[in-house]
Every structure is written in C-alpha cells, then in structure tokens.
Amino acid sequence: MFKLDEILAEWDKDSEIDRTEPGRELIKIPKLHSKYLTIMSHYRQLARSNEFRIAEMKKLKWQYYTGKMSQEDLAENSWQPFPYVLKSDVTTYIDGDKDLNRLMAQKTMNQECVTACEFILKELHSRTFQLKSFIDYERFIQGA
C-alpha cells in the first residue's frame, strides 16, 4: 500500500482536470473514488489493529515495569527483569517506552493516511459540481 507522501503524490496527479474533455473527467470520478476509498479502508484497518497492539503492549510494559511479568514472558520478549520502580513512576516509564512509542507513531501515521483520504474523497464529491459548473460556463461562453 501507499505511504502518506505517495498518497499525496498520487492525488497530485489524479487531481489534474483535463479541461478539454470534462465528460471524460466525470467518468473518472467513480474510479478515483474507489481508489481512495480502498486506500482509506486499508489504513483505517491498520490504525485499528495498531490500537489493539498498543493495548497489548501497554499491558506487557506495565507488567514489566511493575515487576509482575513472569519469567516466561520475559524470555519470550528477550527482556531482562526491570529493577523495582515506584508505582507513581510507572506511567513515566510507559510513556517513554520506545516499543510503545513506535506503535503509537505507526498508528498516528495510519490515521494521517485515513485523514488525507477523507479530504480527497470530499474533494472528489465536489468535483461533480465543479465540472457541471465548468460545462455550464463553457456553454454560456459559446452562446448556447
């Protein structure tokens, strides 16, 4: 799938309107809508799966930083036992955890892709009206 900058580059190409053939541009709208809806759905699904992984990782990290993680889980994750931490400091460690922050960054990027696609789809929705106005203007100019 596309990354955010690739989505924006694709839209930069797809947003071009051929003024010489507005009818053809009208026909392209459903295809473009389908393209960006597919991309948006993909990234929305990724963002949701990130939410689940973040919740799982938060639980693991809470167990790790509070010293309640089993030896099997420590070995499974290749982590060393963490020295005892005050309960009030656990949130600070969790907030600054690299694994958790990496997952949150992925979720944020996926949500940005969803947001970009939402804006593109809104623009595609209004494209029909824009093209109709353009065709009406051309008719007016030609005296029809």
Dump pLDDT digits (tens) for 82-135: 887 788 899 999 999 999 999 999 999 999 999 999 999 999 999 888 888 888
Could you tell me if residue 30 is inside a domain?
no
Could you tell me if residue 69 is inside a domain?
yes
Q: What is the 3-state secondary structure (H, E, C) of the chain?
A: CCCHHHHHHHHHHHCCCCCCCHHHHHHHHHHHHHHHHHHHHHHHHHHHHHHHHHHHHHHHHHHHHHCCCCHHHHHHHCCCCCCCCCHHHHHHHHHCCHHHHHHHHHHHHHHHHHHHHHHHHHHHHHHHHHHHHHHHHHHHHCCC
Could you tell me if residue 67 is inside a domain?
yes
Which residue range is the domain that position 43 belongs to? 37-141
Q: pTM of the full predicted structure?
A: 0.82
Could you tell me if residue 131 is inside a domain?
yes
Into how many domains does the chain fold? 1
Could you tell me if residue 74 is inside a domain?
yes
